[in-house]
Amino acid sequence: MQRYFVYLAYDGTSYHGWQIQPNGNSVQEELMKALSTLLRRPVEVVGAGRTDAGVHASLMVAHFDATEPCDPAFLADKLNRLLPPDISVYRVVPVKADAHARFDATSRTYKYYVTTTKTPFGRAYKCRLFGAPLDFCRMNEAASVLAEYTDFTSFSKLHTDVKTNNCRIMHARWEQVSDTEWVFTIRADRFLRNMVRAIVGTLFEVGRGKLSVEGFRCIIEQKDRCKAGTSAPGHALFLVDVEYPEEVFI
């Protein structure tokens, strides 16, 4: 048995998220179907995380097992021929038998894109902000508070099956990329379901002056999702990186 990591990207617009759903199409299901067709047997796929419905990934990692060694380049090419146009495989990499795409990941990085102007070509991938300009300096002041905490129950989807709501956030910051565009980058060892969108939505409240930096801190400390802001739209969120220790690779 040989285990492989698949590095892939997808446009999440048409999917109910990464994870297989009983009543909707998922990226995981598409990848499993393609691999099962190629390897001529049922193949289970485990992803590095679960992106929500409509969320994209410019880099996701998943693992699967093959009964016999495969040519990684050949497999990547054949997968791209079978997968729909909105899912693409960068490469397939052999890893150690116990390597795990989810549990061995040391960090994940997300980016959230916003624009202050109407953009016909970016509307599917950026969140348009209306009204008075946001105070991004104040939003960065609030975002810096995240590194002081580990329990992010306030930014987690309710009634999930995780055992802990603890995460270690290593980086969280807004950067201006043009006169009308900003991007929020956040990196952590793990993320809770809906966490990034809930953080971004609450930071919007800070930027609008409806919530102070201390108020943002209080929301974290209250550990109550109902106290935080509305989740930002999913279409502007991208998983952009997943990191692993060198020892998982062959």
Three-point CA angle 97, 101, 106, nearest 5°:
115
Q: What type of residue is 233?
A: P
Distances (CA, A) of 185 to 9, 11, 112, 248, 250: 18, 19, 7, 26, 31
CA distance 125 to 119: 10
Which of 163-167, 188-192, 199-203 comes out lowest in average pLDDT?
Answer: 163-167
Q: Which CATH number fits domain 2-103: 3.30.70.580, 3.20.20.70, 3.30.450.70, 1.10.300.10?
A: 3.30.70.580
Q: What is the mean pLDDT of the chain?
A: 95
Decide whether 2-103 matches 108-240 in CATH topology: yes
**pLDDT above 90: residue 220:** yes
At which residue do the structure tokens 């892939």 appear? 8
pLDDT digits (tens, 9 = 90+) for 70-95: 999 999 999 999 999 999 999 999 99
- The fraction of the chain above a pLDDT of 90, given in percent, is 91
Residues 6+ apart with CB under 8 A from 179: none
Domains of the chain by residue range? 2-103, 108-240
How much is the pLDDT for 119?
A: 86
pLDDT digits (tens, 9 = 90+) for 152-187: 999 998 766 677 889 999 999 999 999 999 999 999
How much is the pLDDT for 160?
A: 63
In this structure, how many other beta carbons lie within 10 angstroms of the beta carbon of residue 112?
25
pLDDT digits (tens, 9 = 90+) for 17-67: 999 988 899 999 999 999 999 999 999 999 999 999 999 999 999 999 999
How much is the pLDDT for 159?
A: 60
The CATH architecture assigned to 108-240 reads 2-Layer Sandwich (3.30)
- Give catalytic residue positions: 52
For 73-131, give the secondary structure using H, E and C. HHHHHHHHHHCCCCEEEEEEEEECCCCCCCCCCCEEEEEEEEECCCCCCCCCCCEECCC
Q: Are 242 and 88 in contact (CB under 8 A)?
A: no
Beta strand residue intervals within 101-221, DSSP E = 107-115, 127-128, 169-176, 181-188
Residues 6+ apart with CB under 8 A from 36: 42, 43
How much is the pLDDT for 122?
A: 85
* Average pLDDT for 116-140: 93
How much is the pLDDT for 173?
A: 98
The enclosing H or E element of 237 equals strand 237-243
* Average pLDDT for 223-231: 93
Q: Are 122 and 115 in contact (CB under 8 A)?
A: yes
